[in-house]
Structure 1
Amino acid sequence: MNEDRLAPDGLMLFDGVCHLCDGTVRTALRLDRDGVIRFTPLQSPYGRALARAHGLDPDTPESFLFLDHGRPLAKTAAIGALLRRLRAPWRWLAFVDRLPRKPMDAAYDWIATNRYRLLGKKDRCMVPTAEQRARFVLD
């Protein structure tokens, strides 16, 4: 895989069978009216390659990744970077990554660890609509 495909910009790498992650993607799709955020599920060939290239186990992900100008960000930093891509007032919530990192990431870790138990797991990844398809990178 070439270097440009491993260091994209504005790409959210998410767990496609997680209800919480699916909800996050659907919300981002709705709020990102400019279409600057793209998505790839960990279950896709490209998602698996990206996850491995950035130290995330695609079979047991502990975070989503957001690639911001080629930098892989996780947890609270990823949330902040993703929010900065949205229009106001949503981008104003990006201050979350300026809060004390240790307790914020600890809360993130607890939710991530318990996400399937709390919200369930799907049998397969979401299928984007025809309008959404251009924003998904699958291979």
Structure 2
Amino acid sequence: MESRNIIIFDGVCNLCNNAVNFIIKRDPKQIFCFTPMQSQAAKDLMSRYSLVNDYGDTFFLIKLGKCYTRSDAALEICKDLPALWPLLRICSLLPRSFRDYCYHWLGSRRYSLFGKRDTCMLPTEDLRSRFLD
């Protein structure tokens, strides 16, 4: 598990689920795996890495034993996607406080803008290996 990049996301958030699907479609090497925040696997990882989702608006990327949050996580993911997505890393030149303010603004409104599910996304059989239990 440590060799894979793990994305912990809000499993009931439509925006988060769409982001997971977006990454899956652009990750032919399958370097990312996923687990909803509501799962036991995510709770165990969050405990192991001393992560607290007190913001309520972020997801986590665990990569090579390091944890990324908010805009840093999003930019780190873009770095590993093919085509032109790594070019978005130029945004890392912006002050983190500004990037995270924008991230927080969207994240705190994600349910009202994009909706919310009653239950976490269930991966298809084809994608099951990409999700931690």
- Whichever residue aligns with residue 130 of structure 2, its letter is R
Query: TM-score, length-normalised on structure 1?
Result: 0.86
Question: In the alignment, which residue of structure 2 is the partner of 1:114?
Answer: 109
Structure 1: which 5+ residue stretches go unaligned?
Answer: none
Answer yes or no: is 1:136 the counterpart of 2:131.
yes
Shift of 1:93: 1.8
Asked if the contact 2:4/2:31 (under 8 Å) is kept, the reply is no
What RMSD over aligned residues (CA atoms) do the two structures have, in Å? 1.8
| Equivalent residue, structure 1, for 2:118 | 123
Identity, % of aligned positions: 31
Amino acid at match of 1:32: D
Count of paired positions: 132
Aligned to 2:81: 86
One-letter amino acid of the structure 1 residue matched with residue 53 of structure 2: D
2:6 paired with 1:11: yes
Pairing of 1:1-139 with structure 2 (within 5 A)? 9-53=4-48, 54-57=50-53, 61-138=56-133
**Contact 1:10–1:82 (CA under 8 A) maintained in structure 2:** no
Gap change, CA 1:8 and 1:106, over 3 Å in 2:
farther
Q: Which amino acid counterpart does residue 69 of structure 2 have in structure 1?
A: A
Farther off after superposition, 85-94 or 31-40? 85-94
Cα shift at 1:64? 0.1
TM-score, normalised to structure 2, is 0.89
Unmatched tracts of structure 2, length 5 or more: none
CA distance in 2, matches of 1:10, 1:37: 5
How far 1:102 moved relative to its partner? 1.1
**Deviation, structure 1 residue 8:** 5.7
